[in-house]
Amino acid sequence: MHLAGATILRGPLGFGRSSRLHTTKILRLSEDLPIVVEIVDTEEKIEGFLPELDKLMGSGLITLEKVKVLRYGDAPAHP
């Protein structure tokens, strides 16, 4: 959907509204480990992506946060 950027982080341990721990312990294969996806774009583009995200997600938590972008793109070369 041509969003400006996204970062996906996989957590080794977490719990949700069930308060049941989800972990990467060696003896337990978990298919419900925590994942955080951070998307950066305009409010309009993210709002347009939400219906697609709803189709992809089973359950989970979605938050929208305003940010102040200090730098975006290539950093200048330092001598």
Residues 6+ apart with CB under 8 A from 7: 37, 38
Run of H or E including 52: helix 43-56
CA dist., res. 73 & res. 65, Å (int): 21
Per residue in 24-33, pLDDT (tens digit) is 665 555 566 7
Query: pTM for this structure?
Result: 0.65
* pLDDT number for residue 51: 94
CA dist., res. 16 & res. 59, Å (int): 10
The domain spans of the chain are 5-56
